[in-house]
Structures are given as C-alpha cells and as structure tokens.
Structure 1
C-alpha cells in the first residue's frame, strides 16, 4: 500500500502568512531593539557633544542636531525606544500571566501601538521644534 505524503512547500511564502497584531508588535519589538543597539554609537556621540564644556562641542552639537536628516533619524530612534519600552511592559505583564487570552493579547498589542505612536508624535513635535 503506497503511503500518502503531504506535499510541503519548497519555499516560505511570507506574504501568505497571516500574523495577528501581537505578532507584528513582537517583530517590531525585536527590530526596535536591534535598531537602538546599532545606533548606540551615534547616540553616545551626540550625548558626548551635548555634555561638552567647550564652545566648539556646543557648536558641533547644534550643527549636527540641526540637520533635518539627523532629526529624522532621531525621530525613528525615539519611536524605537518608545515602542520597545511599551512592548517590554506588555511582555512583563504576559510573564506574570496578565493578558494572555486571545482578546486581551490583541487589545494590549493595540494599546502598545497606539501609545507608542502617540508618544512619538508628541515628543517628535518637540524634537522638530513645533513647540
């Protein structure tokens, strides 16, 4: 009697995978952590410039942070930090078995997205000089 084997795909079709919102939030948590880690030398350099006691370091700090491209990078890092922070709180709550049901997990993922984007908008407007 011949055995029936299930045909397995030869490649992984990422566009066919339907992740829930919590899955996207988890992936963004990893991406934001990696981005923060990779951009750490830039952040430390900018911090060093801001803490310098000479006029040259103050002028260089103003020149660097006044550049629109640098402001956009800092805005992205601001979002990465806020998302990573909010998602970290969500993960800590899941670790103590709060919000592990399907609907609660979805609601907490929505809350992470909304809060991190809202805080990014508020702090981003301050970073870009709107107020």
Structure 2
C-alpha cells in the first residue's frame, strides 16, 4: 500500500523558529569544539615539551591563520557555553514556553555575536 503524503525536499522553504536554530547550532558547535581540541591539545603538548617547542608554538600563533583558528575556537566555545547555560536554565523550569524560549534563543544569538566581536578585537589587537 502506497502512502500518499506530501514530501518536501526543498529545505530552503522550511522556516525554523529561533529555538530550533539555537538547538542545532549548539550541536554543531559541540562537534566543532571536538575537532578544535585537536589543535589546542597539540599546541599545549608542543609548548610544554621544551623551550624550543614553546617558542615554535608562540611564533606559530602570531600568524593570521592561527589567530583565525583561535578566534573560531573561542567563538565556538562561547556559543556552546551560552546555549548550554540556556538549556540548563530551561531544565530547571523557566523559559520553556514558546515565547520565552524564542526570546532567550534570540538573546543568546545577540550575546554570542557580541562575545565573538570582543574575542576578535582581543586577538587582533
């Protein structure tokens, strides 16, 4: 028996609420943090191995690419932290209603952009 149900394969026509975008971005930043940790762990290990290793990592981190990777790592970490705190507060009870959940998701995005800009200013100044 063939079911006659609508199938929407065009993902651009689907509009998600802010809460869905916040949840998906929280998961994506968690995965990105996992991969960013490879760079961070390598840099820590190399810098602690010897004085020459420390100087090598120090010189490497002055380049644009390394600063961009560090900025990306900080922005991913900051969003994941902001969204994680929001989810923890929701687990305690408040902000579960649709209006307050959407408002806090949007506030989280705004706070994240501010933190990302501040991290960029701090890294490149």
Q: TM-score, normalised by structure 1?
A: 0.84
Count of residue pairs brought into register by the alignment: 123
Matched, 1:66 2:62: yes
Cα RMSD over matched residues? 1.6
Separation (CA, whole Å) in 2 of partners of 1:124 and 1:84: 17
- Partner residue, 1:89: 85
Equivalent positions of 1:1-131 (< 5 A) are: 6-9=4-7, 12-54=9-51, 56-128=52-124, 130=125
Could you say which structure has the larger radius of gyration?
1
Separation (CA, whole Å) in 2 of partners of 1:33 and 1:50: 25
Separation (CA, whole Å) in 1 of partners of 2:86 and 2:107: 9
Regions of 4+ moved over 6 Å? none
The structure with the largest helix share of the pair is 2
Separation (CA, whole Å) in 2 of partners of 1:118 and 1:49: 32
Q: TM-score, normalised by structure 2?
A: 0.88
Aligned to 2:95, what secondary structure does the other structure show? Answer: coil
| Cα-to-partner distance string for 1:26-75 (whole Å, 9 max, x where unaligned) | 11111110000012111111122344551x11221122111101111111
